[in-house]
Copies of this chain bind each other. A is one copy, B any other.
Amino acid sequence: MKGFASDNYAGAHPEVLAAIADANDGHAAAYGADPWTARAEELLREHFGEQALSYLVFNGSAANVLSIRALCRPWESVICAAQSHINVDECGAPEWIAGTKLQAVPTLDAKLTPELVESQIARIGDEHAVQPRVVSISQSTELGTRYSPYEISALAHFAHERGLLLHVDGARLANAAAALDVPLRAITTDVGVDAVSFGGTKNGILLGEAVVFLQPEHAEGFRYLRKQTLQLASKGRFLAAQFIALLEGDLWRRNAAHANAMAARLGAALVGAPGITITQPVQANGVFAIVPRGVTEALQRDWPFYVWNEHTGEVRWLCAWDTTEDEIDAFAAAVKQACAVV
């Protein structure tokens, strides 16, 4: 069953389960007024800076949509890559729940640049048009690529000059930081990011994400928004304990770096192999490729993974914290063999 469908096909790291069991100790105040939540928030400040205000939620869709609700007024829009999760994988939640229009920009690698953002800024002050307010990028991206700190800094600088804010969908922020070998704040707080959806689920916990505001003023009233958006856990300690497990030591980095290494190993094994086109740089924990017709279905019988683009046939292979070198090697061999047969 183990395959390359998604990093959320993996289970939870044992240290996470242990943390949950530790937190299961008698009664605790509900709705986040417990010591575990306080500790998780403290750790998030350690990682994202003293000013960071963090709010735990259930999943990444919620972290993204709540970020939008917090940052945009009803007539304001979000500029994002056409391939971004908020644009194509939330079943319209940004529009329905936040009421927000997305201005989706076609890109080759799922990355925005100041020039691409610029192309979406128009009709400022014209009441017939939504007014751009947020630039939202994914780090690492939905195509397994990543932004350098410099690229994010340039986007933040440009955004702020134009009166916009910069949001990072960080469902895989840990993968990007690990790949760059920098602290989390080096690609967020320190380069001008305003708000982050910081992911846990895809990096070895059961479930849970954090909305992290790096400028406290954007968090005004957020407690109410979280509750109203159905994202306030009553037994908050069990979300918090998982983040403590991730962030108190280096589990977040160990898990992410391992997944990245496995993707790199897979990419290295396949690059240049006959019939295989690696379509994106392998910069995090995913490999994107186009393989000959027929190969995809044959491989999927033994190894779960997704076709990423129905129109081009591009496939996605994601590695997780628990992917092993043996699995990579076996899968790479299988891919090469299948392509060779065709």
Contacts and interface: CB of A to CB of B under 8 A. Distances in A.
A59 interface: yes
A288 B127 CA distance: 22
Nearest to A73: B221
A310 B122 contact: yes
A150 interface: no
Interface residues of A, number: 82
Nearest to A124: B310
A119 B230 contact: no
A130 B91 contact: yes
Number of chain copies forming the complex: 4
A65 B224 contact: no
Contact of A10 (B27, B104, B229): B27
Nearest to A231: B230
B129 A230 contact: no
A305 to B, nearest CB: 11
A292 interface: no
A268 interface: no
A234 B100 contact: no
Contact of A129 (B89, B95, B127, B207): B89
Contacts of A73: 221, 224
Contacts of A6: 30, 234
A85 to B, nearest CB: 9
Contacts of A91: 75, 127-130, 224, 227-228
> Top 7 A-B pairs ranked by shortest CB distance?
A75-B224, A8-B234, A96-B99, A62-B230, A92-B101, A11-B24, A2-B27
Interface of A: 1-3, 5-6, 8-12, 14, 17, 20-21, 23-31, 58-62, 65, 69, 73-75, 77, 88-93, 95-97, 99-102, 104, 106, 119, 122-123, 127-131, 201-202, 206-207, 221, 223-235, 237-238, 304, 310-311, 320, 322
18 contacts: A2-B26, A12-B235, A58-B58, A58-B59, A58-B231, A59-B232, A65-B230, A74-B224, A75-B228, A91-B130, A91-B224, A93-B228, A93-B229, A95-B100, A97-B229, A104-B104, A127-B227, A207-B234
